């Protein structure tokens, strides 16, 4: 007789109706952990007999699947993470699991037995990434071995159940054609974006959380001349450009003794010594913005990065706030900004459909008082980019580098 097939992860909603199932699962899990044994059907059946419980074959196999959910991958969340199109999976409680497949959040048919099961999963995933997650350190922001980014918070910092936020990182970047087909880039917009890159204009991609900043940046970096060397600096490695010459630097948190931390600003400085043709900061969120601006003012053309902002027009104010954390005055910040950056590509999400798209492109201009503001050069429309007041300036910047934005 052939051995029974070992099932994969089983959603809690599909587990058999067994009295005291949650406690039984925990007892079996602890027994197998003490023995260092895999949850095979035979070992689970033996553990159940040791507990004085006799169950049918289907119930045993279901329990095997439930235990594998706790021990392998992201447990019951793994099918959601592996599904094509998934960008985010959020867990707010045992019966509150949400998934974003690119069209906004929707309730997922996944349930946890209780809050303790969520806590165990969060701690196991954090441990797999070499991080601590417990009452003394009740949150963790880690990159899992498969590239997925996980943020977890435990009570009492979060009220009620532990919360998980998982961001899926695609193994490859989208092509510009794919983004156009998805509606992120308007029809005919590919030519303008290629002109910006070919002209080696320095730019930022702005937008809110989950608007697709990293996705678009990965795609654009794949269009960079293959002969150029790209050096990426990221807090958590998310960019996956389809380019043959990429060097990736990633920050490191302090260890349990509070030493060994490597900050984003440290990596920007190191990247400048690595002969980059394109210096890329995955996300400007602190004092490192001053080092990036300084680099772009010293011959490092074509640099880029992402920035959280509500609108392209808010970018100068956001940079002011970040520059102040490094002690840079407003006048000094604007002086560097005027010479360092050329454009802002702002992404937004349609409130009705959740679709991500390039809302507008702005250029930087300096006023009579020496302060920098942005001017709308192009806006999204179903028929293609619609020119704005700054279109002539953008065309001039591209033409000055031998490219055409028209």
Residue 74 is predicted with a pLDDT of 84
Q: What is the C-alpha separation between 86 and 91, in angstroms, rounded?
A: 14
Q: Is the peptide bond before 156 cis (omega within 30 degrees of 0)?
A: yes
Q: What is the CA radius of gyration of the chain?
A: 25
Please state the rounded mean pLDDT for residues 160-180.
90
Residue 41 is predicted with a pLDDT of 67
What digits encode the pLDDT tens for the residues 142-156? 888 788 889 999 999
Residue 344 is predicted with a pLDDT of 96
Architecture of the structural domain at 176-400: 3-Layer(aba) Sandwich (3.40)
Residue 255 is predicted with a pLDDT of 74
Six token digits for residue 63: 């329990």
Please state the rounded mean pLDDT for residues 26-40.
64
Please state the rounded mean pLDDT for residues 66-90.
80
Instruction: Report helix, strand or coil for 159.
Output: coil
CB 139 within 8 A of CB 154: yes
- Reply yes or no on whether the pLDDT at 46 is more than 80: no
- Higher-scoring residue by pLDDT: 343, 338: 343
CA 99 vs CA 5, 83, 149, 165, 236: distances in Å: 29, 10, 15, 10, 21
For residue 174, give every residue at least 6 positions away whose Cβ sits within 8 Å of its Cβ, in sequence order, or none.
182, 215, 218, 219
Q: What is the C-alpha separation between 57 and 66, in angstroms, rounded?
A: 14
- Reply yes or no on whether the pLDDT at 251 is more than 70: yes
What digits encode the pLDDT tens for the residues 199-242? 999 999 999 988 889 999 999 999 999 999 999 998 888 888 99
Q: Which of 203, 287, 281 is nearest to 236 (CA)?
A: 281
CB 185 within 8 A of CB 205: no
Averaged confidence pLDDT in the chain: 84
Residue 68 is predicted with a pLDDT of 60
Residue 13 is predicted with a pLDDT of 43
Residue 2 is predicted with a pLDDT of 44
Count how many residues are written for the chain: 406
Q: Characterize the bridge pairing of strands 149-153 and 139-143.
A: antiparallel
CA 58 vs CA 10, 14, 30, 309: distances in Å: 12, 12, 22, 52
Give alpha helix (H) positions in 228-329: 264-271, 288-296, 315-324
- The predicted model scores a pTM of 0.76
Locus of tokens 């802002």: 344
Compute the CA torsion angle 298, 301, 304, 310 (nearest 10 deg): 80
Q: What is the C-alpha separation between 374 and 366, in angstroms, rounded?
A: 8
Q: What is the C-alpha separation between 197 and 186, in angstroms, rounded?
A: 17
Fold of 75-167: Beta-Lactamase (3.30.450)
- Higher-scoring residue by pLDDT: 322, 16: 322
What digits encode the pLDDT tens for the residues 298-319? 778 899 999 999 999 999 999 9
Residue 241 is predicted with a pLDDT of 92
Name the band, by pLDDT with cuts 50, 70 and 90, for residue 26: low
- Reply yes or no on whether the pLDDT at 5 is more than 80: no
Residue 9 is predicted with a pLDDT of 45
CB 119 within 8 A of CB 135: no
- Higher-scoring residue by pLDDT: 102, 243: 243
Please state the rounded mean pLDDT for residues 107-128.
90
- Reply yes or no on whether the pLDDT at 8 is more than 50: no
């Amino acid at each position: 007789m052939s051995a029974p097939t070992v099932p994969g992860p089983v959603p809690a909603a599909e587990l058999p109706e067994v009295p005291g199932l949650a406690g039984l699962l925990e007892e079996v899990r602890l027994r197998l952990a003490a023995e260092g044994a895999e949850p095979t059907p035979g070992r689970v059946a033996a553990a159940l007999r040791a507990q004085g419980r006799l169950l049918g074959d289907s119930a045993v196999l279901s329990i095997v699947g439930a235990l594998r959910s706790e021990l392998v991958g992201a447990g019951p969340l793994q099918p959601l993470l592996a599904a094509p199109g998934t960008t985010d999976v959020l867990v707010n409680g045992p019966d509150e699991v949400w998934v974003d497949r690119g069209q906004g959040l929707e309730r997922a048919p996944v349930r946890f037995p209780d809050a303790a099961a969520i806590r165990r999963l969060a701690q196991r995933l954090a441990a797999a990434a070499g991080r601590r997650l417990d009452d003394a350190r009740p949150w963790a922001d880690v990159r899992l071995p498969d590239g997925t980014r996980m943020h977890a918070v435990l009570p009492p910092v979060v009220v009620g159940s532990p919360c998980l936020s998982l961001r899926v990182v695609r193994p490859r970047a989208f092509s510009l054609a794919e983004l156009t087909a998805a509606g992120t880039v308007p029809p005919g917009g590919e030519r303008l974006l290629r002109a910006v890159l070919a002209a080696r204009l320095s730019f930022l991609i702005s937008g809110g959380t989950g608007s697709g900043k990293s996705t678009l940046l990965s795609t654009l970096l794949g269009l960079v001349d293959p002969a150029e060397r790209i050096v990426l600096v990221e807090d958590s490695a998310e960019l996956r450009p389809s380019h043959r010459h990429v060097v990736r630097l990633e920050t490191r948190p302090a260890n349990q003794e509070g030493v060994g931390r490597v900050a984003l600003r440290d990596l920007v400085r190191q990247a400048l010594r690595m002969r980059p043709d394109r210096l890329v900061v995955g996300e400007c969120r602190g004092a490192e913005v001053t080092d990036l601006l300084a680099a772009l003012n010293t011959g490092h053309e074509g640099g880029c990065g992402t920035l959280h902002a509500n609108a392209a027009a808010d970018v100068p104010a956001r940079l002011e706030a970040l520059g102040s954390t490094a002690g840079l005055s407003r006048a000094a910040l604007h002086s560097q900004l005027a010479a360092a950056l050329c454009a802002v590509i702002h992404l937004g999400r349609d409130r009705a459909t959740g679709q991500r798209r390039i809302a507008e492109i702005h250029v930087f201009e300096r006023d009579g008082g020496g302060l920098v503001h942005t001017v709308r050069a192009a806006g999204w429309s179903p028929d293609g980019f619609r020119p704005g007041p700054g279109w002539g300036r953008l065309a001039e910047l591209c033409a000055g580098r031998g490219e055409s934005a028209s």
